[in-house]
Amino acid sequence: MHGPRLVLIGPMGAGKTTVGREVARRLGVPFADLDALIVDRDGRSIPEIFAADGEEAFRRLEARVLAHALATHAGVLALGGGAVGDPASRALVASHPTVLLEIDESAALRRVHAGRGRPMLAGEDPLERWRTLTAERLPLYREAARWSIEASRGDVPAVARRVIAAV
């Protein structure tokens, strides 16, 4: 069994899912989204899992589903923004062809709405949470990714073309 052709990582709102789907379509390979795989496996939504079991339990589940997906999915795989926080997961992701989608704050402001559906951004100031989390995680993303793409500007096809050109 071969691993994924491409793994997409990056902060919330970077467009990992939409760009990943377009990259997969252009390459003619299947697409999978880690959050969707988690929901399929667990039967509850991401906010429900966070609310009932807490972040730590979510991270354990995420790490298990990620390891399985990296071992079995042969196409493009988009990860959630916190999936490379765990050192073992990060090392595993780094051993696959991984692209970091980077976005600036104004793009995040346009794309990340009020933390709805994103428990990590819940609270009074979702953009401030995004800023803090992204600053903390950027070195981890850079450690896990072989390539980095600017994803703030251009439509989905343009960013997808940039990803394909980079790898």
Judged by CB under 6 A, the residue of 24, 69, 84, 120 near ligand S3P is 120
* Closer to ligand S3P by Cβ: residue 2 or 83: 83
Question: Which 8-state DSSP code applies to residue 7?
Answer: E
Q: Within positions 23 to 52, which residues make up the interface with ligand S3P, using CB under 6 A?
A: 35, 46
Q: Which two tokens stand for residue 67?
A: 């390891």
Judged by CB under 6 A, the residue of 6, 7, 8, 12 near ligand S3P is 12
**Count of residues touching ligand S3P (by CB under 6 A):** 10
Tell me if 161 is assigned to a ligand binding site: no
Query: Cβ atoms within 10 A of the Cβ of 115, count?
Result: 19
Q: Which two tokens stand for residue 73?
A: 């999915």
Q: Please report whether residue 118 would count as binding ligand S3P according to CB under 6 A.
A: yes
Q: Is 149 left (phi over 0), alpha (psi -120 to 50) or beta?
A: beta
The span from the CA of 42 to the CA of 93, in Å, is: 22
Tell me if 165 is assigned to a ligand binding site: no
For 114, counting Cβ atoms within 10 Å of its Cβ (0-12 exposed, 13-18 middle, 19+ buried), the class is exposed
Smallest separation (angstroms) from ligand S3P to the CB of 81: 3
Q: What's at 1, amino acid-wise?
A: M
Q: Within positions 64 to 93, which residues make up the interface with ligand S3P, using CB under 6 A?
A: 80-82
* Closer to ligand S3P by Cβ: residue 36 or 165: 36
Which residues of this protein are in contact with ligand S3P, per CB under 6 A? 12, 16, 35, 46, 80-82, 118-120
